[in-house]
Structure 1
Amino acid sequence: MRLKKMERQQLLVEKIEETPFITDEELANYFNVSVQTIRLDRLELAIPELRERIKSVATNQWNETVKSLPLDEVIGDIIDLELDRRAISIMKIQSEQVFSRNKIARGHHLFAQANSLAVAVIDDELALTRKSEIKFKRQVKLNEQVVAKAEVKEVKEDGITVVHVNSFVKNEVVFSGIFHMYRSSEKEK
């Protein structure tokens, strides 16, 4: 059963407040309308598109928390962060990030997202990549959304922190890396 426009828009506001990172496509399926209808509803309600909602949440929430680099230098948008424990960022693959011939993402963008997240999760003023071991598991294509999840595995006495990062498209691992990060101060184990 189709909802009337005002009812749908009221529920749209509630759904986006409840799930701020929901895509227009997911909303269209949820409300059984076209993507264009969702976009028009958002426009009328002055609700920004997904990327802007993510940036707004990230800027407001993480700007004061990330110590090791300016937030605008993180590749992707941080959506969760607990310093020296874990972090999550998301990045939608844009046309400038793919090879024009086959629309496959250039690997350095996936590496940059994972590496900058490994830096951002460090609770220190200075964090640099000392060494990394990476694996590309499958190709990532134009418009796919990559979710990178970083987890601090070990904080060593010599100032090295080991961070594991796995990147996913939907629930499939597309990239994994182990980053050995140098930090300027030594932390207790």
Structure 2
Amino acid sequence: MKLKKAERQKQLVEKIEATPFITDEELANYFHVSIQTIRLDRLELSIPELRERIKSVATNQWNETVRALQVEEIIGDVIDLELDERAISTMTIQKEQVFSRNKIARGHHLFAQANSLAVALINDELALTTKSEITFKRQVKLGEQVVAKANVKEVQNNGITIVVVHSYVKQELVFSGIFYMYRSKPKEKVVKS
């Protein structure tokens, strides 16, 4: 049963407040209406699109947490961060990030997302990449959303923290990297399994 517009919009606000990372497509399915109807409802209610909601939540949440760089310097949108443990960011491939001829993302954008996430993960005022080992698993295309997941693998006595980053489109691995991060203040040595 379809809801009347006013009731649907009221429930739409509640649904987005409860789950700010819900997509327009998921909302359309939930309310049994078209994606265009959801977009019009959001427009009338001044609710930003998903990308802007993620960026807003991330900026508010991580501004006080990220130490090694400014939140706006991170490539992609941080959606989870626990310093010296793990982090997750998302990035939807835009027109300016692809080759015009074939609409395939330029590799340096995937690298930049992963590398900036590895830097953001370090609980130090200074974090620099000293070395990386990267592998591109498959091409990423215009419009695809890349989810990068970073985990601290090891903290060495010499001030190097090893961060492993895996990037996915849906559930498919598209990029992996090992980043050796220098930090100005060495931390206790930790090896994670």
Q: Post-superposition, which runs of at least 4 consecutive aligned residues in structure 1 deviate over 6 A? A: none
For 1:99, the equivalent position in structure 2 comes to: 99
For 2:58, the equivalent position in structure 1 comes to: 58
| Post-superposition CA distance 1:106-146 (Å, at most 9, x none) | 11000000000000000001111111111111111111111
Total equivalences in the alignment: 189
Quote the offset at 1:30 in angstroms: 2.4
For 1:170, the equivalent position in structure 2 comes to: 170
3-state SS of paired residue (2:178)? strand
The one-letter amino acid paired with 2:75 is I
Quote the offset at 1:26 in angstroms: 2.1
TM-score by length of 2: 0.94
Could you tell me how far apart the structure 1 residues matched to 2:141 and 2:29 are? Answer: 22
In the alignment, structure 1 residue 71 sits paired with structure 2 residue 32: no
TM-score by length of 1: 0.96
- Decide which moves more: 147-156 or 46-55: 46-55
Quote the offset at 1:32 in angstroms: 2.2
Could you tell me how far apart the structure 1 residues matched to 2:122 and 2:81 are? Answer: 10
For 1:44, the equivalent position in structure 2 comes to: 44
| Post-superposition CA distance 1:30-55 (Å, at most 9, x none) | 22222111111011112111111111
| Post-superposition CA distance 1:142-174 (Å, at most 9, x none) | 111111110001110000000000111111111
The one-letter amino acid paired with 2:12 is L
For 1:84, the equivalent position in structure 2 comes to: 84
Give the RMSD, CA atoms, in angstroms. 1.0
For 1:18, the equivalent position in structure 2 comes to: 18
Quote the offset at 1:11 in angstroms: 2.0
3-state SS of paired residue (1:175)? strand
Could you tell me how far apart the structure 1 residues matched to 2:137 and 2:172 are? Answer: 9
Quote the offset at 1:17 in angstroms: 1.6
Name the % identity: 80
Q: Which runs of 5+ in 2 are unaligned?
A: none
Quote the offset at 1:14 in angstroms: 2.0
